[in-house]
Amino acid sequence: MLDALAHTLRSNPGRPAVLGTTRTGAVRTRATCGELADLADRYALALHARGVERGATVGVAVRPGPRALAVMLAAYRLGVRVAVLDPGAGPDVLRARLALARPDIVLADAAAQAVAGWARPLARRAQLALPDLAELGGPVATVGRRLPGSAPALEAGARSSSGGGSRPGASGLPRPVDEDGDAVIVFTSGTTSLPRAVVHTRSSLAAGMATVTDLVRPEPGRPVLGGTFFVLVPSLASGAPVALPARSPRVLARQMHRLAPQATYLTPPHLRAALTKGARFTGRVWTGSAPASADLLTRVKQAGADEAWGVYALTELFPAAAVEQADKAAFASDGDLVGAPLPGVEAKTGPAGQLLLSGPAARDRYLGEVADPWVDTGDRARLENGRIVLEGRCKDMVLRRAENIYPGLYEPALHVTGVELALLVGVPAEDGDERLVAVVQPRRGADHARVRTALAAPLERMGSARPDALLFADIPLSGRSLKPDRAATAALAAERLTAERAGGRGR
pLDDT tens column, 2-36: 888 988 999 989 999 999 999 999 999 999 999 99
In this prediction, residue 167 carries a pLDDT of 43
Q: How does pLDDT run across 265-285, given as a tens digit for each residue?
A: 999 888 988 999 999 999 999
pLDDT for residue 437 is more than 80: yes
* Better pLDDT: 163 or 118: 118
Residue 128 has pLDDT above 60, yes or no: no
**pLDDT for residue 116:** 41
Q: What is the mean pLDDT of residues 404-427?
A: 85
pLDDT of residue 405: 83
How much is the pLDDT for 290?
Answer: 75
Residue 335's pLDDT is: 82
Mean pLDDT in residue range 245-264: 96
The residue ranking higher by pLDDT, 368 or 263, is 263
pLDDT of the residue at 113: 75
Cα separation, 247 vs 254, in Å, equals 12
Q: Residue 143: what pLDDT?
A: 93
Is residue 43 predicted with pLDDT exceeding 70? yes
pLDDT for 362 equals 97
Asked if 325 and 341 count as a contact pair (C-beta separation under 8 A), the reply is no
* pLDDT level of residue 133 (50, 70, 90 thresholds): low
Which carries the bigger pLDDT value, residue 134 or residue 428? 428
Query: Of the candidates 44, 34, 11, which has an alpha carbon nearest to the alpha carbon of residue 177?
Result: 44
Residue 129 pLDDT: 55
Indicate if the pLDDT at residue 117 is higher than 50.
Answer: no
Would you call 370 helix, strand, or coil by DSSP? Answer: coil
User: Can you give the pLDDT at residue 216?
Assistant: 93
Confidence of residue 136 (pLDDT cuts 50, 70, 90): low
Instruction: Of 19-23, 187-191, 221-225, give the lowest mean pLDDT range.
Output: 187-191
Q: Which of 95-99, 128-132, 146-150, 425-429 has the lowest mean pLDDT?
A: 128-132
| Average of per-residue pLDDT across 98-118 | 78
Whether the pLDDT of residue 161 is over 60: the answer is no
| Percent helix, strand and coil across the chain, each to the nearest 5 | 35, 25, 40
Alpha carbon distance 359, 380 (integer Å): 19
Q: How far apart are the first and last CA of the chain?
A: 50
- For residues 52 and 504, the model is more confident at 52
Whether 501 and 468 have beta carbons less than 8 Å apart is answered as: no
- Mean pLDDT, the chain, rounded, equals 87
Strands 354-358 and 346-349: antiparallel
Distance CA 263, CA 155 (A): 36
252's enclosing H/E stretch is: helix 249-259
Q: For 287-303, how does the pLDDT look when each residue is reduced to its tens digit (9 = 90+)?
A: 988 778 888 899 999 99
CA 177 from chain center: how many Å?
A: 27
Asked if residue 389 lies in contact with residue 338, where contact means CB atoms within 8 angstroms, the answer is yes
Dist CA 71 CA 39 (whole Å):
8
pLDDT grade for 159, boundaries at 50, 70 and 90: very low
The per-residue pLDDT for 126 is 59
Which among 52, 54, 56, 58 is positioned nearest to 83, based on CA atoms? 58
pLDDT band at residue 118 using 50, 70 and 90 as cut-offs? very low
Q: Pick from 55-64, 169-178, 217-226 the range whose average pLDDT is largest.
A: 217-226
Contacts of 85 (CB under 8 A, 6+ apart): 59, 60, 61, 94, 97, 98, 106, 108, 112, 130
pLDDT band at 379 (very low <50, low <70, confident <90, very high): confident
Assign 132 a pLDDT band (cuts: 50, 70, 90).
low
Confidence of residue 507 (pLDDT cuts 50, 70, 90): very low
Q: What angle do CA 452, 455, 457 make, to 5 degrees?
A: 130
- pTM score: 0.81
Burial 372-398 (b: 16+ CB within 10 A, else e): eeebebbbbbeeeeebbbbeeebebbb
Measured distance CA(63)–CA(86) in Å, rounded: 9
* 137 confidence band (pLDDT: 50, 70, 90): low
Q: Is the dihedral of CA 29, 30, 34, 35 positive or negative?
A: positive
Q: Is the pLDDT of residue 191 over 70?
A: no
User: Cα(83)–Cα(97) distance, rounded to whole angstroms?
Assistant: 9
Q: What pLDDT does residue 456 have?
A: 94
- In the three-class reduction of DSSP (H, G, I as helix; E, B as strand; rest coil), residue 262 is classed as coil
Residue 226 has pLDDT above 80, yes or no: yes
State yes or no: pLDDT of 158 exceeds 60: no
Query: Is residue 399 pLDDT above 70, yes or no?
Result: yes
Check residues 137 and 16 and name the one with the higher pLDDT.
16
